[in-house]
Amino acid sequence: MSPLLRTALQVFLSLLFAPFAWGLIRFLKSQLSGRSGVSPFVSYAQIIAGFRKENLIPPMSSWAFTGTPYVVLAASVFLVFSLPLMTLGGWASPFSQFLVFIGVLALADTFRIFGAIDAGGVIGGMGASRQMVITALSLPTLVLIFSAYALKAGTTTIDGMLMSGLTPFGQPFLLLVVIAFILIALAENGRYPVDNPETSLELTMIGEALTFSYSGPYLAMLEYAAMIRLLVFMMLLANMIFPFGLLLPNGSFQSILVMILCTLLKISIAAGLTALLESTIAKMRFYRLQEYLASAFFIALAGLALVLVTEQIL
Amino acid sequence: MSLKNLLSHLPSVVVVEDRTDICSASVKREHFTGALDELVNCRTLAKTTTALYSLGLALSHLYVTDERKAHGVFVVHALLHDDTAASWLHLFTELPGDDPTYPSATLFIMNAQWFERYNADMFGVIPLDHPDLRRLAHHANMPFDVHPLRKDFLQGTELESEDIPYPVRQVTGEGVHEIGIGPVHHRVAESVHYRLSTTGERIMALEVKPFFKHKGVEKLVEGRKPIDALPFLERLGGDSAISHALAFSQAIESVEETVVSQRSRGIRSFLNECERVIMHVEDLSNIAGIGAGYNGMKRGFLLKERLMTAAEAFCGNRFLRGLIVPGGIARDVTDKEVEALRDVFVDVIDDMTTYAKRALHSDGLRDRLELCGVLKKDVAKVYGAVGLVARASGVDRDVRRDHPYAAYDRFEPRVITHVSGDAFARFKLRADELIDSRRLLIDLSAHLGGGEAKVPCHPALGLGVSAAESGRGEMLYAVHMKDGLLERVAIRGASFSNWPLLHELIPTSVLSDFPLCCRSLGLSVAGSDL
């Protein structure tokens, strides 16, 4: 199969599965708290309904407000386009440089913050100040995480890192890196214990506060972008731990089926674990987030140190 | 030492009537504030009276009646509670109808401030030198100089819609950010406006305004028979039908000191405990929900639903309405019905206790709750905090024990207090009180007592005062009867006393703790915005 076809397939499936993954977490969380919960497919309806609604734009806002949904959505689409989520060695794999990945995340976060401040709303400004703290503390940790990986794998593309076949079971440093990555993934996607994506209390919001002034199609775009980003982190994490079920360059048409099944399995496991985590722990006080993010940083640093030490010895 | 003896030390006060539960005394308006100050703060009385009173009485209610038709005066009434003798001191003063002013009591007694602002709104009775006489209960659309509780204001008058902004206190300076929330909220939250001034995450000042949906119930019930007024009062607070009905019925009974049967008293206490359990289960779920996550909250709500379904099976509605009437209970319930209700409640309390224990062992939740919204004991006293909130700060006061009503003289509740006064103490206290309610429910259902369900109770003239302890705190009713009809019903919901506490708790705390502080106080808007 040609790399272009495989990349196209990955983009298509990611965009298709993203709302499902999001809805699945919500559904499983309801189940765990003893409610029947809404179907995981409701998030598709949520996106479609958003596009049909009126788009209200605050009168004082500028291009930063209107541009944000496009930038954020484009950033998310770029991630599913370039990263090895379902296929290795895809057409766009050279773009999966880890610094590009982190840069695109930073771009999206920056624009979300711009959009929130630009609307001039009270809650948006509050959410922006909180998101700045989280982004500023979590992205450097991502640099450390992938630096450690890159050193060991001898390549700076995430595609190449997964191709190298390193697993946390054979490489202890990777275990630390994966733990740090989980902590950062929760923070970057606004999940527990950093943020509560389902909160309706204005004063405790972070992620929701950023989209507070958006409505209709723009809100749907931002929500869709968040769903895609969640899927990206889920799949990356799953592939780091279990790099199987990925579509390889020499893959047959049968392996497409295997890939789809494995993807759904990975999504289900990741969603189940997220839901379990969110049902059992309390949200952290905002002032304790530095401790949380600093621990992620030092775990990643330990992983990097371990790589450097073992490289020296061997 | 009785209240009468105490008052004899105050030369300006004349005792008018001395009953076992209420001691009424009149005072001239220029001495009114002085006498209140003396009774509450004990400036010189402490030297002359016994140690029992050296701590002073506490102001429970300050309300006005319009008696211009009969005597050409407004009367300002103060209710002070005397816990040692289980009685109320009713101190009143007359103000001429054309000059309804008196020296403000707020200068000496902090918790008089909302009462005086409310009276200024509703009657135009002006406390002179009040430090903050902005409108309290009237919102922006209400014209100036409209005083709905005056007798010459007719029910159903169409008013012009004005737009008078409420002068919110503002904090200015570099980096100060003002956040206004409400009065329209998401979901089914009640209408409250919060104005927060923050620097970063830290809150510097708060202004809270819960009065947006004034229902005018005090006006609605005037001129009705007590039994006709009851449905309005039961629906005042939504979830507090029993405590409203109980406090009101007892106040009516106290006018002519009607004695109700042992059995109806037993059932009243039983129902009172049931309502407290429902409120505690709801509050525990809400606090856990905000602190930890929706998981604990939904489980708790499921339990609350079981309680409310059981209540519906018991009396035909989910809120236990229509059971308590002046003179006893509306219909006699069989022991079997009571036992069926008890079994559900005991079962739910056991489940909730397990959840609460699990929550108390969760590090994450404890971290959120501990040191969140600390209310110190002296502050709680000065603000006149009532109920569970005051007890969590170490104020040892519970109307069920201090002014025993219904069957609480036979079955004394265990009054539990905590010292830390934070959200954690309020959470734990609710869980502790559930366990005591479980004991009371079992004891009460086993010994309901005998007697007929209802005795006739049709008082013609006089004043009745009574309080009932709801899950939120003390509901206080003062009822003035005239010709067998209600002349004035002055209601002080528990939340009316506890709302101002937010002004003390919120500044210095951080933004994300704000919802938790509010929830842990368990405030109700409907119950204070009458």
Give tens-digit pLDDT for B289-317: 877 666 667 788 889 999 999 999 998 88
Q: What is the DSSP string of B179-240?
A: EEE-SS-STT----EEEEEEETTEEEEEEEE--S----HHHHTTTS-HHHHHHHHHTSSSS-
CB atoms within 10 A of CB A205: 23
* Model confidence at B198: pLDDT above 90: no
* Model confidence at B246: pLDDT above 80: yes
Give the residue-averaged pLDDT of B154-180: 86
Burial (Cβ within 10 Å: 0-12, 13-18, ≥19) of residue B521: buried
Least confident of A240-254, B161-175, B372-386: A240-254
What is the CB-side half-sphere exposure of residue A24 using CA atoms within 13 A? 20
Give the residue-averaged pLDDT of B231-245: 90
Pick the CATH number of B217-521 from 1.10.630.10, 2.60.40.10, 2.60.120.10, 1.10.645.10: 1.10.645.10
Of B180, B295, B515, the CB nearest to A204: B515
Distance CA A176, CA A196 (A): 25
Beta bridge partners of B147: none
- What local confidence, expressed as pLDDT, does residue B477 receive? 94
Question: Is B177 in Cβ contact with A125 (below 8 Å)?
Answer: yes
Distance CA B433, CA B278 (A): 12
Question: Is B293 in Cβ contact with A282 (below 8 Å)?
Answer: yes
> Mutate which of B295, B370, B427 to disrupt the A interface (most A C-beta within 10 Å)?
B295
Is the omega angle on the peptide bond into residue B103 within 30 degrees of 0, that is, cis? no
- What local confidence, expressed as pLDDT, does residue B266 receive? 92
Least confident of A267-276, B78-87, B487-496: B78-87
- Determine contact, residues B508/B201, Cβ cutoff 8 Å: no
B45 three-state secondary structure: helix
Distance CA B349, CA B304 (A): 10
Question: Is A33 in Cβ contact with B298 (below 8 Å)?
Answer: yes
* Model confidence at B448: pLDDT above 90: no
- Does residue B242 or residue B45 have the better pLDDT? B242
Residue B177 sits at the chain A interface (C-beta within 8 Å): yes
Which stretches of chain A sit within 8 Å of chain B by CB?
29, 32-35, 122-123, 125-126, 129-130, 192-193, 196, 198, 200-204, 278-288
- Determine contact, residues B48/B98, Cβ cutoff 8 Å: no
Interface subset of B 294-313, CB within 8 angstroms of A: 294-299, 302
Given a cut of 50, the residues of chain A with pLDDT beneath it are none
Q: What string of H, E and C letters represents the secondary structure of chain A?
A: CCHHHHHHHHHHHHHHHHHHHHHHHHHHHHHHCCCCCCCCCHHHHHHHHHHHCCCCCCCCCCHHHHHHHHHHHHHHHHHHHHCCCCECCCCCHHHCEHHHHHHHHHHHHHHHHHHHHHCCCHHHHHHHHHHHHHHHHHHHHHHHHHHHHHHHHCCCEHHHHHHCCCCCCCCHHHHHHHHHHHHHHHHHCCCCCCCCCCCCCHHHCCHHHHCCCCCHHHHHHHHHHHHHHHHHHHHHHHHHHCCCCCECCCCCHHHHHHHHHHHHHHHHHHHHHHHHHHHHCCCCCHHHHHHHHHHHHHHHHHHHHHHHHHHHHC
Alpha-carbon distance values, B421 to A127, B417, B425, B428, B524 (Å):
30, 9, 6, 11, 20
* Model confidence at B1: pLDDT above 70: no
How many Cβ pairs closer than 8 A exist between chain A and B?
Answer: 81
Give tens-digit pLDDT for B437-447: 999 999 999 98
B365 three-state secondary structure: helix
- What local confidence, expressed as pLDDT, does residue B227 receive? 92
- What local confidence, expressed as pLDDT, does residue A43 receive? 93
Residue B117 pLDDT level (bands cut at 50, 70, 90):
very high
Distance CA A202, CA B150 (A): 40
What is the CB-side half-sphere exposure of residue B438 using CA atoms within 13 A? 17
How many angstroms separate the CA of residue B339 from the nearest CA in chain A?
28
Distance CA B106, CA B328 (A): 38
> What per-residue string of b and e applies to B51-84 under the rule 16 or more CB within 10 Å gives b?
eebeebbbbbbbbbbbbbeeeebbbbbbbbbbee
Least confident of A242-251, B410-419, B464-473: A242-251
Q: Is ipTM over 0.85?
A: no
The whole-chain average pLDDT of chain A stands at: 89
Give the residue-averaged pLDDT of B451-463: 87
- What local confidence, expressed as pLDDT, does residue A242 receive? 85
Chain B positions in Cβ-Cβ contact with residue A130 (cut-off 8 Å): 201
Tokens of B343: 């079994």
The whole-chain average pLDDT of chain B stands at: 88
Of A129, A198, A285, the CB nearest to B368: A285
* Model confidence at B499: pLDDT above 70: yes
Give the residue-averaged pLDDT of B22-33: 90
Task: Give the sheet arrangement for strand B202-209, strand by strand.
Answer: B176-181, B193-199, B202-209
Give B50's contacts (C-beta < 8 A, 6+ positions apart).
B1
Least confident of A253-262, B40-49, B271-280: B40-49
Distance CA B422, CA B425 (A): 5
Could you please state the CATH topology (level 3) that the domain comprising B3-128 is classified under: Beta Polymerase; domain 2 (3.30.460)
* Model confidence at B29: pLDDT above 70: yes
* Model confidence at B63: pLDDT above 90: yes
Domain ranges of chain B: 3-128, 217-521
Distance CA B475, CA B240 (A): 9
- Determine contact, residues B380/B393, Cβ cutoff 8 Å: yes
Chain B positions in Cβ-Cβ contact with residue A196 (cut-off 8 Å): 293
- What local confidence, expressed as pLDDT, does residue A238 receive? 92
User: Can you give the pTM of this predicted structure?
Assistant: 0.87
Q: What string of H, E and C letters represents the secondary structure of B326-355?
A: CCEECCCCCHHHHHHHHHHHHHHHHHHHHH
- Tell me how many degrees the CA angle B361-B508-B184 measures, rounded to the nearest 5: 85
Give the residue-averaged pLDDT of B519-524: 89
Of A201, A282, A287, the CB nearest to B365: A282
Beta bridge partners of B488: B480
- What local confidence, expressed as pLDDT, does residue B293 receive? 62
Give the residue-averaged pLDDT of B379-392: 92
Which residue shows structure tokens 């503002």? B170
Phi, psi for B76 (deg, rounded to 5): -100, 125
